[in-house]
Amino acid sequence: MEKADIESIPIKKIFDLKDEKDAYDAAEEMVQTGFYKERKGFKVLMPKEPKKTAKRIGYIVTTTVTAGLRKTDQHRDIRYWTYHHDKEHYGIVLVNSKVVDELDF
């Protein structure tokens, strides 16, 4: 999927994360808000430097969201894409797979 396609997905909230604690907080907020009430997803921005921080943040967000959805008996049919957002950030877009299907991606 191209960056333009990813950025055309409707976004409910953008999280600009700096560290691992921010990642846990953002993931918990995403689970509480839910992926199914609105036809929108979430965007997570992570710093490119230091390199390992972005990997850790991405891992924490994706696994914590999945685990949180399971614990709250919500559907876990979420798709996500990681991409180069800009010169200083990586991005992850997380969205309900039904929204992706409706947008014909």
Structural domains of the chain sorted by starting position, each given as residue range(s) with its CATH number in brackets: 3-102 (3.30.110)
Question: Is the predicted pLDDT of residue 105 greater than 70, yes or no?
Answer: no
Lowest mean pLDDT among 74-78, 84-88, 98-102: 98-102
State how beta strands 41-47 and 78-84 pair: unpaired
pLDDT tens-digit readout, 62-80: 999 999 999 999 988 999 9
Looking at residue 37, what is its pLDDT? 82
Contact 26, 13 (CB under 8 A): no
pLDDT tens-digit readout, 13-61: 999 999 999 999 999 999 999 988 888 999 999 999 987 999 999 999 9
Contact 46, 15 (CB under 8 A): no
Residue 14: left (phi > 0), alpha (psi -120 to 50), or beta? beta
Backbone φ and ψ for 47, nearest 5 degrees, come out as: -70, 140
Structure tokens at 45: 């921005």
Question: Is the predicted pLDDT of residue 1 greater than 80, yes or no?
Answer: no
